[in-house]
Amino acid sequence: MEQPNPNTLRPDPGHAEPLLQLTGVHTRIGQYHILQGVDLAVPRGGLSVLLGRNGAGKTTTLRTIMGLWKASEGTIRFDGRDITTLATPDIARAGIAYVPENMAVFSELTVRENLVLAARNGALDQARVDWICGFFPALRKFWNYPAGNLSGGQKQMVAIARAIVEPRKLLLVDEPTKGLAPSIVHSLIAAFRELKERETTILLVEQNFNFVRSLGDTVSVMDDGRVAHAGTMAALAGDAALQQRLLGLSLDTHQ
């Protein structure tokens, strides 16, 4: 494993404080020590990508940030505030939304009802709904259908729509393109780009390397529960040898 470089994993004091900062974070689940000292900085206003082989700790990192699993050591700071010990609802209220890999939707509720539950005070902003449906037209078509009757790709659209139905400071997304048709992937790219323009910071775990190469500003690569490399996506995308060393593959060979 490439050894972490403290100068790349931690922000330069001369630059603005990152929106999200993990310092020495450990997470234990039962007898398993999953995260083993994660240092991660997510700059404001861009899209940061978390890469790594299966089992490296990417999903555990997102769940630990969200408070679903508690860090046993280390600190998590968000927007200048220590959120390490906060409960998940308080973390959500601070401005973080999470889209898990398993497309968490309320199956018995309609698409509209799923979004209403995520809206502030249970009231949808029609202009924002129209904006979301511009990226995902199927949501309008199935507006009054039970979400459990939708396809996997359509459920993923509902899950992302729930997360962005209200403006968020930070969006955590775990493998959004998994199993999706190319047309929906293109819609996701457009949605994430516009979210960045609207000053939403995004931390994305993804295995579709061409997808993240087109979107990512910064990238961190995890290995064995730690961040082994951090830098710009452009630098990683342009260095096949670095890709091979960190990921065991070349981005150019994975469509």
Q: How confident is the model at residue 19 (pLDDT cuts 50, 70, 90)?
A: very high
The pLDDT of residue 8 is 40
CA 173, CA 140: separation in Å to the nearest integer? 22
The pLDDT of residue 250 is 60
CA 114, CA 127: separation in Å to the nearest integer? 17
Residues in the chain: 255
pTM (two decimals): 0.87
Per-residue pLDDT, averaged over 85-98, amounts to 96
Closest Cα partner for 218 from 51, 6, 16, 37?
Answer: 51
The pLDDT of residue 172 is 97
- Report yes or no on 125 lying in a domain: yes
pLDDT digits (tens, 9 = 90+) for 193-204: 888 888 899 999
- Report yes or no on 58 lying in a domain: no
- Report yes or no on 127 lying in a domain: yes
- Report yes or no on 118 lying in a domain: yes
pLDDT digits (tens, 9 = 90+) for 26-61: 999 999 999 999 999 999 999 999 999 888 999 999
The pLDDT of residue 34 is 97
The pLDDT of residue 1 is 43
Q: How many CB atoms lie within 10 A of CB 79?
A: 17
CA pseudo-torsion sign 153, 155, 158, 159: negative
Closest Cα partner for 69 from 50, 51, 88, 82?
Answer: 88
Percent of the chain whose pLDDT exceeds 70: 91
- Report yes or no on 63 lying in a domain: no
Tell me the residue range of the domain where 138 lies.
96-150+157-167
Per-residue pLDDT, averaged over 77-100, amounts to 96
Per-residue pLDDT, averaged over 134-159, amounts to 91
Structure-block tokens of residue 158: 């509902």
Map residue 242 onto helix, strand or coil: helix
- Report yes or no on 209 lying in a domain: no
Sheet with 218-223: list strands edge to edge. Answer: 96-99, 170-174, 201-205, 47-52, 218-223, 226-232
- Report yes or no on 18 lying in a domain: no
Q: How confident is the model at residue 4 (pLDDT cuts 50, 70, 90)?
A: very low
Strand 96-99 to 226-232 pairing? unpaired
CA pseudo-torsion sign 115, 66, 153, 195: positive
Inter-axis angle of helices 111-118 and 152-164, to 10 degrees? 30
CA 226, CA 4: separation in Å to the nearest integer? 8
What distance lies between CA 221 and its chain's CA centroid?
14
Residue 76's identity, in one-letter code, is: I
Per-residue pLDDT, averaged over 211-233, amounts to 93
Number of domains forming the structure of the chain:
1
- Report yes or no on 110 lying in a domain: yes
The pLDDT of residue 10 is 41
Q: How confident is the model at residue 254 (pLDDT cuts 50, 70, 90)?
A: very low
Percent of the chain whose pLDDT exceeds 90: 62
Q: How confident is the model at residue 249 (pLDDT cuts 50, 70, 90)?
A: low
CA 142, CA 7: separation in Å to the nearest integer? 49
Contact 166, 119 (CB under 8 A): yes
For residue 119, give the DSSP letter: S
CA 188, CA 94: separation in Å to the nearest integer? 25
Per-residue pLDDT, averaged over 237-251, amounts to 81
Per-residue pLDDT, averaged over 123-148, amounts to 93
The pLDDT of residue 191 is 87
Chain mean pLDDT for the chain: 88
